[in-house]
Amino acid sequence: MPKETVSRWSESRYTNLQVPSYVPSEALMHEDGQFLRAFLLRVLANDMQRMLATNTCAVYFRNIPLEPEYDASGNRTNTPENVVMEKRLRVMDDISKLLRTYVERAEYAANKSKDINRRIYFTAEQIETGDFGALIGPRGLVHQQLEKETNCHIVLVGRGITNPLKDTNPNAAAMALEDPHVRITATTEEDLQTAAERIEWILSDEPEAVEFRENNRRRMAQVDGRYDPRTWMTAAEKRKKAAAEKAAAAGDDEAGAEKGRKRVREEAPIEEEDTELNEFLEDL
């Protein structure tokens, strides 16, 4: 006959009004399962508190081997009550950690919701000439310096800038369809204004800003291995050359159109009739 074993669970029924008998399915997925974990820890803590209050800790270890341990004075250190008490303290520590994590998440969400944003859109010329690249700089040094000096989060997004195949942002596909712009996120209006003024200056037509962008283009080309002083052209020289080529192409097209145009045949002028001569001839 099989050996009869005594259940380790309590033989008497009890009711814990703090623990619900039903947990909705939505609660199981809340906070990525952290709610369920906190709930089970709370149930375990309440059960152990009940065992300590009713002096039934030994029942919990009825079928669990618990080798006695003694200190130097001969006192047992791992009595069922001591083990349950230590385990309950660890459970309460875990619950406290979960609570702190929840509070930190709530504070982070509250602070994040207070962030203010501003968008500065690039012009077609800035996209064509690549002037917006001055906001990144060689190896991203300008971008890092801007964020450090202004205490803002600065991101360049939009068509021609965001690559949804390489960008790890889950919204990369949507951002790739937006108009090209720089997005500034700050916690204060002062930081936001400072970052906006700095970015607008870099993109402006002031001589110092133009020189700043040109130096960045040169350094980026040197880092990428594309710089050759014999063939290097500034952005202004490139624009001038492109305008000259465009004008030359337009002149060639106009000359070709003029050459291919059919010459209109000139008709002989119609001489006006001399009425006096006709009358004289009729009299004859």
Query: Does residue 131 register a pLDDT over 80?
Result: yes
Instruction: Please write the tens of the pLDDT for every residue from 222-243.
Output: 888 887 888 877 777 777 777 7
Average pLDDT of span 104-131: 80
Total residue count of the chain as it appears in this document: 284
User: Do residues 174 and 162 lie in contact, with contact meaning Cβ atoms separated by under 8 Å?
Assistant: no
Q: Which contacts (CB < 8 Å, 24+ apart) does range 79-88 have?
A: 81/52, 81/55, 81/57, 83/57, 84/48, 84/51, 84/52, 84/57, 84/60, 85/48, 85/52, 87/48, 88/45, 88/48, 88/49, 88/52
Percent of the chain with pLDDT over 70: 79
User: Do residues 202 and 213 lie in contact, with contact meaning Cβ atoms separated by under 8 Å?
Assistant: yes
Query: Does residue 184 register a pLDDT over 90?
Result: yes
Structure tokens at 76: 């047992």
d(CA 37, CA 42): 9
pLDDT at 41: 86
Average pLDDT of span 204-218: 88
Three-state DSSP class for 42?
Answer: helix
pLDDT at 229: 80
**Helices of type H across the chain:** 25-29, 34-54, 57-60, 80-113, 124-129, 141-150, 172-175, 189-202, 207-224, 235-260, 275-283
CA dihedral 153, 159, 164, 166 (to 10 degrees): -70
The sheet with strand 181-186 has its strands ordered as 116-121, 181-186, 153-157
For all residues of the chain together, what is the average pLDDT?
79
pLDDT at 5: 61
CATH 3.40.50.300 is the classification of domain 116-239: no
CA-angle at 223, arms to 217 and 225, nearest 5°: 100
Query: Does residue 57 register a pLDDT over 70?
Result: yes
Q: Which residue has the higher pLDDT, 13 or 219?
A: 219
Q: Which residue has the higher pLDDT, 274 or 89?
A: 89
pLDDT at 147: 93
- What separation, in Å, do the N-terminal and C-terminal C-alpha atoms of the chain show? 163
Where are the domains positioned within the chain?
25-112, 116-239
- For 126, residues 6+ apart whose C-beta sits below 8 A from its C-beta are 132, 203
pLDDT at 11: 55
Q: Which helix (H) or strand (E) holds 156?
A: strand 153-157
Identify which of 115, 48, 36 has the alpha carbon closest to the alpha carbon of residue 84.
48
Identify which of 152, 256, 255, 267 has the alpha carbon closest to the alpha carbon of residue 199.
152
Instruction: Please write the tens of the pLDDT for every residue from 12-49.
Output: 555 566 667 777 777 777 777 777 888 888 888 888 88
User: Do residues 31 and 84 lie in contact, with contact meaning Cβ atoms separated by under 8 Å?
Assistant: no
User: Do residues 64 and 83 lie in contact, with contact meaning Cβ atoms separated by under 8 Å?
Assistant: no
Q: In this structure, which amino acid lies at residue 136?
A: I
Query: Does residue 196 register a pLDDT over 60?
Result: yes
